[in-house]
Structure 1
Amino acid sequence: MGAQISTKQRSDDGKVISVHSLDNWNTQFQSSRTSNKLMVIDFSAAWCGPCKFIEPAVHDLAVEFSDVEFIKIDVDELPDVAKDFEVQAMPTFVLVKKGKERERIVGVKKDELQRMIEKHRF
């Protein structure tokens, strides 16, 4: 089946990890539960225009906040994960630390997302 996790990486070390299987999601989520690192989960879909619009900004935030883990989940690929997080619109960004949701932002709100990351990353 090939690789189930893909990383879109920029030359300046910012990365967003795209998770494509439930097994890999469970591995990522379990490792985040024992870490002090903030995880930003970007729930999106290939057909979602606003998701495509904010994608470059998310990559920029991944560069700026290299101490934060950025995970991208396509709701059509992993509907059970989207259901577990009660995602009802896209894009939805869920900020998780130690396995617990800290904040949630729905829509294209880069400035608000940046503020929430700054608030919860330490």
Structure 2
Amino acid sequence: MGAQISSQQRSDHGEVLLVHSLDSWNTRFQNSKTSNKLMVIDFSAEWCRPCKFIEPAVHDFAVEFSDVDFIKIDIDELPDVAKDFEVKAMPTFVLVKKGKEQERIVGVKKDELHRIIEKHRF
């Protein structure tokens, strides 16, 4: 068995956690329910070109908003999680706080994503 969670890091300590198993996701999601910390879930796929296009911006946001958890889920790896969140297109970004969806963005909308992260992070 491989790693269940890995991270993509940049030199300035921004981190996006890649969740690879349902158990790891369930643990992380349950823990988020008791935290005031905002979680940004990036639903993407390896073959998704728009997902690859916005990926550098997501890493930049992880650096800028170090008080926010950034989680990346590949819909082909964890289709049940994507189904639970009713993901219909990629990329889809779902902002969750205390286990409840606050807002979502579908598509490559960097400025809008930045704005709603700022809005919900405190």
Displacement after TM superposition at 1:119 (Å): 0.3
Displacement after TM superposition at 1:45 (Å): 0.2
Structural RMSD (CA): 0.4
1:107 paired residue number = 107
Displacement after TM superposition at 1:44 (Å): 0.1
2:7 paired residue number = 7
2:72 paired residue number = 72
TM-score, structure 1 normalization: 0.99
State the alpha-carbon separation in 1 of the partners of residues 56 and 8 from structure 2: 11
Q: Which amino acid aligns with 2:99?
A: G
1:98 paired residue number = 98
Q: Unpaired runs of 5+ in structure 2?
A: none
The SS at the match of 2:12 is coil
Displacement after TM superposition at 1:88 (Å): 0.0
State the alpha-carbon separation in 1 of the partners of residues 118 and 57 from structure 2: 15
TM-score, structure 2 normalization: 0.99
Displacement after TM superposition at 1:47 (Å): 0.2
State the alpha-carbon separation in 2 of the partners of residues 11 and 98 from structure 1: 30
The SS at the match of 2:17 is strand
Q: Which amino acid aligns with 2:97?
A: K
Runs of 4+ in 1 over 6 A off after TM superposition: none
2:39 paired residue number = 39
